[in-house]
Structure 1
Amino acid sequence: MKHLLLIIASLCFSTLFYQQSIGLNLSLFSIISIGILWWHNKPQFKNQTTIIYASIYVITAILIFIHGTALAIFTNIFSFFILIGCVSSNKNSIYVQWINGFYSVIAGYFHRKFDNKDIPEQTILKKDIDILHWAKLVGIPLVFIIIFILLYKNGNPIFEDVITKINFDFINLQWILMTVLGYFLFNNISQPATIEPATTLDLNTANLLIERKNTSEEKNKKDNQLGTTLLAFLNVLIVFYSITDLMYLLTNTVDSANHLSMQVHNGINALIASIVIAILTILFFFRSDLNFYKKNKAIKNLAYLWIGLNIILIVLISIKNYQYVSAFGFTYKRLGVFAYLLLAFFGLITTFIKVFKIKNLWYLFRVNTQIAFAICILSATINWDYSITEFNINNAKVLDITYLIHLKGNNSPLLKTYAQQYKLSEPINTQINQKWTTHNQNLSLMNWQEYSLENFTNTTKGYH
């Protein structure tokens, strides 16, 4: 039964993906993958964490069908690896689950084949199906048949004519290879593997720092003095920078996109350097014994202050980027700035928690990877090309219509409507009409495997 299910799934895999673009096929693949995982790992699917990740995987599959953005596809694939890793070990950190999932997809079968713990299971499987025997049973007669056909062709013209007329075009080697790839993939994930000792190490590592018994009071004192001095100077510096930056925001009016761009990107560069240095410095001083030093109140307060000032810096850069967007609209780079600022904000908050509650470095890795994954999922729910176009048309003071034309085709109805409402130059009108026509033609030429929701909601009957 196991092999029959895998064969059916592999046939579905090649049917869905052979010579097809991404669309409904990836959504259906997600459902099939969950089915294969559930059938072979039913006890694991009783676990709440596994159910949550399976639900997230289904949601990302639905998002691909709804709008099929690159971010939705990326999040779906990322969720695929995490779900597989969760099935193999549901109590691990999310990044370890991702690694285990990726490993299972690539080498799950070979891991089971050569891992000592799986020897009894492999013995049972060999009793059920002797793969080598079947390979001989099919392969050896096939080789001999081909050899004798070639020999007989040279000895009989009529036989040669009959053989020549046989059409083997229906045999598609690429489709067969795709099916084999599908079988290999589903076989690998049917029983996910774990990488050791990374999995066990992660399970056995807590989030809290443990106080060591034999610590050097003198070393702690020197580290405390150095950290206090360094953080004090850095706090003064960032206060001065933030004040001057705030004054600049309040006293300057910027009309140039290039000028605003320079402000934002220079601010981002400063922010990146500041936050990286802040987190690394804090991690260095609070890596071990200084967390338990009785006279560490001053350095802790300075660390909290520096984290707070970096958050203020994030706010200032956000204001600059908002001014930029208000004047000239959204682009993916400007969205990327907001995404980085959000990640930086959570990074600083978790660093504060790490110092305040005496957490270790593993805590930062675990929590921040979960936060990043959650942000990816939320971001994947938005059709960004369409949303950028809609926002810019309705809100941007200076509209870069050329940028919008070069976005994905699903924004073409918005551009078409805009072109009908406003008088645009002839070249721009031509580009919009061409984009709109091409997009609708592409929709009509899609195979069912490539469908998205737009194939069912698009009411365009012709191309004008």
Structure 2
Amino acid sequence: MKKISLLIGAVLFSTLFYKQSLGLNMSLFSIVTIVILATYNPKSFKQKSSIAFSLLYLISAISIFFFQSSLSFIANFVAFFTLVGHVSEHKSSIYVSWLNGFYSFVAGFFHRNFNPHEKEEKVKIKRDIDYVHWIKIIGIPLIVVIIFILLYRNGNPVFNDLTSKINFSFINIQWLLLTVLGYYLLYNISEPIPVNPATTIDLETKNTLKNKGEFSIKSVKNENQLGVVLISLLNLLIIFFLVTDFTFLFSTQDLMASVFSSQVHSGINALIASIIIAIIIILYFFRGNLNFFEGSKKLKSLAYIWIVLNAILVINTAIKDCQYIYYFGFTYKRIGVLVYLLLTVIGLATTAIKVNQIKNLWYLFRVNSVTAFAILIIACTINWDKHITYYNLNHAQSIDFFYLTKLSNNNTFLLKEYSDNIPLKGENKIRVDRKYRNYLKKLKDNNWQEFTYDNLKID
């Protein structure tokens, strides 16, 4: 029964994707994937986390049906590897799930059939398969059915007309090869494989640092003094930087776009450098015995202050970016800056938790990777092109219309509506009309596998 599900899945795979662009087929394939995983791994799907990752994977696939954005494609692939890897070992960290999912997807067949340890286990439970019996079950009924179809076609003109409309021309050598590929890929993920020793090490590694026992008080004191001096100086330096930067920010008005751009990007560059250095320094000083030294309270306080000051630097950069957006509208780069700032704040918060609760480096990796994955899934459910276009047309002080027409087709209907309500002239109108015509043609040419939400908007 399980093998039959793989065969059906393989046929569906080639039917959904052979000479088709991505659309509805991704949602249908995600359902096929989840069904096969659940069929082969019923115990894993008793875990709520497996069901949750399945839903996230399905959401990312549905977002492709709605938006067909690059972000939704990326989110779907990441969610796919996350789900497959999670099924292999539900207690592993999410980045290990990515590794396990990718490995299973690419090399699951070879691992199960050519790995010596796997082969030894299979020999013990392997049963003889009666291939002749299976050939009879499949071949004889198929031949008989074809013969009777030919007979009925000659005896009934209505039946002949109906069967003649069935088009099997898509079944060719390429379609068959894609079917084989689909079977191979589905077979790979049907029983996902945990990669060792990475998975084992991950399971054995906890999030909390342990006191290794006795340590040299003198060396810890010296390290504590070094940390206090260094972080104190860095706190003074970042305070001076923030004062001068806020002074510049509030003493200037109506900056040119190039000045805003320079300010935002230089702020981001400074932020990247300072955050990386801050985390490295904090991880260095709080990597071991200093966490358990009673005299390190002052150093911890200075570390918290430094984290807060870096958070203020984030706010400062966010203000610049928001001003930039207010005057010149949204672009993907400006949105990217805000997303990066959000991730930075989360990174600073988890670093503070690491210091306060004596966590290790793996804690930061685990929490921040899960956070990044969650933000990716949330982001893929948003029609960014449409929101960018709507804001820029209605609220931005200056409109870069050429940029809007270069975005994906997700904003095509909105641009056309704007063009009809506020008659455009010249090159802008030509671009909008051309984009609208081309998109309508594309939608009308879509096969059912390629259907998107916008297909429902046209007659």
TM-score of the aligned structures, taking structure 1 as reference length: 0.88
Contact 2:93 2:202 in 1 (8 A): yes
Give a deviation string over 1:61-117, Cα, whole Å, max 9, x none.
Answer: 222212222111211111111111111110111111111111110111222222515
Contact 2:100 2:195 in 1 (8 A): yes
Q: 1:130 to 1:306 in 2, by over 3 A?
A: farther
What letter is aligned with 1:262? S
What letter is aligned with 2:376? C
The residue that corresponds to 1:141 in the other structure is none
| TM-superposed deviation, 1:282 | 0.4
Q: 1:115 to 1:309 in 2, by over 3 A?
A: farther
Q: 1:315-354, aligned counterparts within 5 Å?
A: 315-354=315-354
The residue that corresponds to 1:93 in the other structure is 93
The residue that corresponds to 2:299 in the other structure is 299
2-structure distance, mates of 1:226, 1:350: 24
Give a deviation string over 1:158-200, Cα, whole Å, max 9, x none.
Answer: xxxxxxxxxxx97622212111110000101111101111111
| TM-superposed deviation, 1:337 | 0.3
The residue that corresponds to 1:119 in the other structure is 120
The residue that corresponds to 1:66 in the other structure is 66
Q: 1:286 to 1:130 in 2, by over 3 A?
A: farther
2-structure distance, mates of 1:118, 1:316: 60
Residue aligned with 1:310, SS: helix
Q: 1:418 to 1:216 in 2, by over 3 A?
A: same
2-structure distance, mates of 1:254, 1:289: 52
Q: 1:241-260, aligned counterparts within 5 Å?
A: 241-260=241-260
What letter is aligned with 2:378? L
What letter is aligned with 1:375? I
Contact 2:383 2:410 in 1 (8 A): no
The residue that corresponds to 1:204 in the other structure is 204
2-structure distance, mates of 1:357, 1:130: 61
| TM-superposed deviation, 1:211 | 0.7
The residue that corresponds to 2:240 in the other structure is 240
| TM-superposed deviation, 1:406 | 0.3
| TM-superposed deviation, 1:420 | 2.5
| TM-superposed deviation, 1:409 | 1.4
| TM-superposed deviation, 1:121 | 3.3
1-structure distance, mates of 2:202, 2:278: 26
| TM-superposed deviation, 1:255 | 3.5
Q: 1:431 to 1:283 in 2, by over 3 A?
A: same
Q: 1:393 to 1:364 in 2, by over 3 A?
A: same
Contact 2:50 2:90 in 1 (8 A): yes
Q: 1:115 to 1:85 in 2, by over 3 A?
A: farther
What letter is aligned with 2:330? F
Residue aligned with 1:192, SS: coil
1-structure distance, mates of 2:373, 2:241: 32
Contact 1:410 1:439 in 2 (8 A): no
2-structure distance, mates of 1:182, 1:123: 29
Q: 1:69-88, aligned counterparts within 5 Å?
A: 69-88=69-88
The residue that corresponds to 1:390 in the other structure is 390
The residue that corresponds to 1:49 in the other structure is 49
What letter is aligned with 2:320? K
Residue aligned with 2:294, SS: coil
The residue that corresponds to 1:215 in the other structure is 215
Question: Which runs of no fewer than 5 residues in structure 1 stay unpaired?
Answer: 139-168
What letter is aligned with 2:414? L
Contact 1:254 1:260 in 2 (8 A): no
Structural RMSD (CA):
1.9
- Percent of aligned pairs with the same residue? 48
Residue aligned with 2:128, SS: helix
331-340 vs 61-70, which moves further: 61-70
Q: 1:114-263, aligned counterparts within 5 Å?
A: 114-117=115-118, 119-121=120-122, 124-125=125-126, 127-128=128-129, 172-263=172-263
2-structure distance, mates of 1:202, 1:234: 34
User: Is 1:108 aligned with 2:105?
Assistant: no
2-structure distance, mates of 1:383, 1:122: 52
Contact 2:111 2:118 in 1 (8 A): no
Question: Which runs of no fewer than 5 residues in structure 2 stay unpaired?
Answer: 140-168
TM-score of the aligned structures, taking structure 2 as reference length: 0.89
The residue that corresponds to 1:373 in the other structure is 373
Contact 1:9 1:183 in 2 (8 A): yes
What letter is aligned with 1:120? E
Contact 1:41 1:191 in 2 (8 A): yes
2-structure distance, mates of 1:223, 1:120: 53
The residue that corresponds to 2:359 in the other structure is 359
2-structure distance, mates of 1:425, 1:170: 46
2-structure distance, mates of 1:393, 1:334: 16
What letter is aligned with 1:223? E
60-69 vs 238-247, which moves further: 60-69
Contact 1:18 1:178 in 2 (8 A): yes
What letter is aligned with 2:188? N
User: Is 1:264 aligned with 2:264?
Assistant: yes
Residue aligned with 1:301, SS: helix
The residue that corresponds to 2:157 in the other structure is none
2-structure distance, mates of 1:262, 1:58: 40
Give a deviation string over 1:122-141, Cα, whole Å, max 9, x none.
Answer: 5544522679x99xxx9xxx
Q: 1:452 to 1:93 in 2, by over 3 A?
A: same
| TM-superposed deviation, 1:226 | 0.9
| TM-superposed deviation, 1:118 | 5.5
36-45 vs 250-259, which moves further: 250-259
What letter is aligned with 1:26? M
Q: 1:60 to 1:250 in 2, by over 3 A?
A: same
Q: 1:118 to 1:215 in 2, by over 3 A?
A: farther
| TM-superposed deviation, 1:354 | 0.2
Residue aligned with 1:128, SS: coil
